[in-house]
Amino acid sequence: MDIFEKTKGEHNYTVAKEKGIYPYFHELTSGQDTQVVMEGIDTIMIGSNNYLGLTSNPRVINAGIEALKKYGSGNSGSRFLNGTLDLHKTLERELAKFLHKEAVMTFSTGFQSNLGIISAIAGMHDVILCDRENHASIYDACRLSYGEMIRYKHSDMKDLEEKLKKVPADKGILIVTDGVFSMSGEICKLPEIVKLAKKYGARVMVDDAHSLGVLGEHGRGTAEYFGLEDDVDIYMGTFSKSLASLGGYMASTKEVVDYVMHTSRPYIFSASMTPASAACALESLRILEENPQRVKDLFNISEYMRNGLKKLGVKIIDAPTPIIPIYVYQDEKAYMACKLLLERGVYVNPVVSPATPVGMALLRTSYTATHTKAQMDKAMKAIKEVLDILGVK
């Protein structure tokens, strides 16, 4: 049988293309900001993860330019060998200090961070307890590791404890959860997870990709939000969201970070973050430290949008984060809604099966600290209009 046979025939994406409602790979001809030019349309962007609005910040852009001038365009090697810059070390030191952890190591992407951390930490005598709605990178990381992955029902602490009870005493246990779940915007039940981890001798890893710069008084993430910074063993996060760059990190004790640096295959055998990426992440971090008001601005504009949608009778998943998913139920309606909204100058993301259960398709909207109320009012009006056209209640 030809291995390419699966590429032929009818797929969801081919059907969407034929119907003219294909929602992916739209071209931007402007920078990422609250207002972008997409497919030639002046568009309000409520579908990015640019939470603090720093992708267009002059300080961040200039930091990237200066790094390009000083270090060149790339490092031509891994951190393990010739690819470590003083810039990487500075970023890691400052991020560790900000997160109140002993040490930080950086990866080339956020996806690679989870692959590199979990595959190194979880060995053949270990068990990984994984929330069913964790990010895809966590699932792939569990598969890459030699550990046994056991999934527990989403945010179901009773189910998590039942799974923990069955783990043999001679097994190491790592509980891994998203801090903010990327599709729903819900916050994990970290206090209960920490309590169970202590009861059963487990370690806790939190994926703070959508939490850094979003949760906590200073934007340090999920653990700060709950006052549990001393109780989370590993933080993972990304630079592609609040820190307006590309890459990822792990924060933990010096001992754990040192071990992962010397055993993680995705880390050892990948080129290091480009100089410009590292410099932009570092400058974004410094801006966040200097101006934690951005975290409050992000919360306030998200609340404004959340309350406005509710008043219009739009059914949403309600959580105190900048991710607001809107139910449209059917996959085809999600595609059509994206098309109609883009025509009205509003960009959102479709979330369809298998990313959601069949019949529970969503529009994932997300917000930025620098969005204006005028932009939100226009977006709300367009969303309500499109949902009415599609008969979504």
Active site positions, annotated: 182, 210, 241
Cα separation, 182 vs 238, in Å, equals 13
- Residue 147 is classified by DSSP as S
Q: What angle do CA 182, 186, 192 make, to 5 degrees?
A: 120
Cα separation, 377 vs 359, in Å, equals 29
Terminal-to-terminal C-alpha distance of the chain: 46
- Residue 186 is classified by DSSP as P
Across the chain, the runs of DSSP E, i.e. the strands, are 35-38, 41-45, 103-107, 126-131, 148-152, 172-178, 203-207, 234-238, 248-252, 323-329, 346-347, 349-351, 361-366
CA-nearest of 311, 353, 375 to 46 is 375
The answer to whether the CB of 213 falls within 8 A of the CB of 182 is no
The amino acid at residue 304 is Y
Cα separation, 9 vs 223, in Å, equals 47
CA-nearest of 171, 173, 174 to 125 is 171
**Residues in Cβ contact with 244 at an 8 Å cutoff, skipping those fewer than 6 apart:** 50, 52, 54, 55, 57, 60, 280, 281, 284
The amino acid at residue 252 is S
The CA-based dihedral angle spanning residues 206, 209, 215, 217, taken in that order and rounded to the nearest 10 degrees: 90
Cα separation, 38 vs 170, in Å, equals 55
